[in-house]
Amino acid sequence: MSTLSLENVTYTYKNAPRAAVSGISCKFEEGKVYAIVGPSGSGKSTLLSLLAGLDLPTKGEVAFDGDSLAGLNLDRYRRESISMIFQAFHLFPLMTVMENVCFPMELCGVTPKDAKPRASALLEGVGITKEQMGRFPSKLSGGERQRVAIARSLASNAKIILGDEPTGNLDGANTQNIIDILCSLAHEKDYCVIIVTHDMEVAEAADVALRMRDGELRIA
């Protein structure tokens, strides 16, 4: 199973006048792609960091497969259960594209010999050429870097993928390719994919579209 459930989750930043996330109860199930849309400042990134266990709710509970994150080893949860695709790519600048994708697998104990072909296949899947795999991230365009970040996030075995605007720098064809990859992971391999997006193409392709407003989450 790979399910996240929220029970009356509220998060208030220190000294903030009001909650960034306010009283959210919902369930994110495996096998589905969820899109979250909403204006800037409505709490989307805060919600993702609560789902990723980067912060714990001020009130309420986030549970992974029924276990409250408050009681889990969060380093392990983040390493083994969650993949994050950030708006900023967070690629390691001094590693090649190939090394960037191999690195998280090696952290999880995969040998370099096994990591390389898997990384190569993932990178090819997002349209990165063999020649580009040997480059440093600074020698790629913004869209190419974003696709490398997506391949890297797919390298772990985590079945929950959290994305903050993962297609923000991509053109139509590459956006469609990423949508296809995320939908097939959800529909064929039972991943739970939760994507914050401004992209209507992504929102329309999702199984469930949700809207955030003033810290509250509703079905769109």
CA-based nearest residue to 99, from 143, 141, 142, 151 = 151
Stretch that binds ligand ADP, among 44-52, 75-83, 126-134, 150-158 (CB under 6 A): 44-52
Q: Under 8 Å CB-to-CB from 117, ≥6 apart: which residues?
A: none
Count of residues in contact with ligand ADP, rule CB under 6 A = 11
Q: Which residues between 42 and 71 bind Mg ion (CB under 5 A)?
A: 45
Q: In the complex, what is the shortest distance from the CB of residue 69 to ligand ADP, in angstroms, rounded to a whole number? A: 18
Q: In the complex, what is the shortest distance from the CB of residue 177 to Mg ion, in angstroms, rounded to a whole number? A: 24
Smaller CB separation from ligand ADP, 43 or 60: 43
Q: Which residues between 23 and 42 bind ligand ADP (CB under 6 A)?
A: 38, 40-42
φ and ψ at 136, to 5 degrees?
-85, 150
How would DSSP label each residue in 140-183? S-HHHHHHHHHHHHHHS--SEEEEESTTTT--HHHHHHHHHHHH
Q: In the complex, what is the shortest distance from the CB of residue 202 to ligand ADP, in angstroms, rounded to a whole number? A: 16
Smaller CB separation from ligand ADP, 86 or 136: 86
Contact indicator for 170, 197 with CB cutoff of 8 Å: no
Q: Under 8 Å CB-to-CB from 56, ≥6 apart: which residues?
A: 50, 62, 69, 70
Smaller CB separation from Mg ion, 47 or 128: 47
Contact with ligand ADP (CB under 6 A) among 1, 8, 13, 112? 13
Q: Under 8 Å CB-to-CB from 142, ≥6 apart: which residues?
A: 169
Contact with ligand ADP (CB under 6 A) among 10, 45, 58, 87? 45
Distances (CA, A) of 153 to 10, 31, 45, 99: 27, 18, 17, 13
What does the per-residue mask of binding to ligand ADP show for 46-85, with x meaning CB under 6 A? x---------------------------------------
Chain contacts with ligand ADP (rule: CB under 6 A): 13, 16, 20, 38, 40-46
